[in-house]
Amino acid sequence: MNPQVTEARPRDREATRERILQAARTLFGEQGYEQVTVRMIAAAAEANIALVGRYFGSKAGLFGAVLQGEPSFVGLFEGDSEGLPRRLAEYAAERMQHPPESPILRTLERSAGDPEVHAVARERLITAVLEPLAATLAGPDAHARARTATAVFLGIGAMRRRLGPEKPTPADIDRLTAVFEACLAG
């Protein structure tokens, strides 16, 4: 067997996988989860439709893989623990005013009620928010405290979607800081 041919295959597979991911990211961001089909993604990626199933399992699996490449706010958890409630409050206040910048995260917000997306969103919430936040907390009940703080974030997003964006005031940030201090207290 020619070693050059063997070496080329993994790169081709990886390149195809990446093309599929990029096509999915673009289509999901432009059209939303519900409107996009696996056939559309495969065509945009110039890939065989069977490869989507082989690499990602399903449309929901592909959406989950796309989400893994999206920005998260794990960086907020880095730094001094005393400043964490304020960093979380400032981020939450920004969410009061603006939806996520990422088209994929906006798609996730819009499509969260879809049964396929629900499982993907749940996994994203656990791995990108709950677990990293709980890992930064000292003391007992870290997971429960992280869950409570996450509920505040989710509530702010739900409020913005239902009532529209609202510019936060410095007093809002102070109140949110107090809420996060209470949520995270050990």
The model's pLDDT over 57-85, given as tens digits with 9 standing for 90+, comes to 999 999 999 988 877 777 888 888 899 99
**Over residues 5-11, mean pLDDT:** 45
Q: Is the pLDDT of residue 7 over 60?
A: no
Burial 24-37 (b: 16+ CB within 10 A, else e): bbbbbbeebbeebe
Q: Is the pLDDT of residue 4 over 60?
A: no
- Residue 5: pLDDT band (50, 70, 90) is very low
Structure tokens at 79: 């730094």
Q: Average model confidence (pLDDT) for the chain?
A: 87
Q: Which residue has the tokens 């990626």?
A: 45
- Answer yes or no: are the C-beta atoms of 17 and 41 closer than 8 Å: no
**Over residues 47-51, mean pLDDT:** 94
User: Which residue ranges does the chain devote to CATH 1.10.10.60?
Assistant: 3-68
Give the right CATH number for 3-68 from 3.40.1160.10, 3.20.20.140, 1.10.10.60, 1.10.540.10.
1.10.10.60
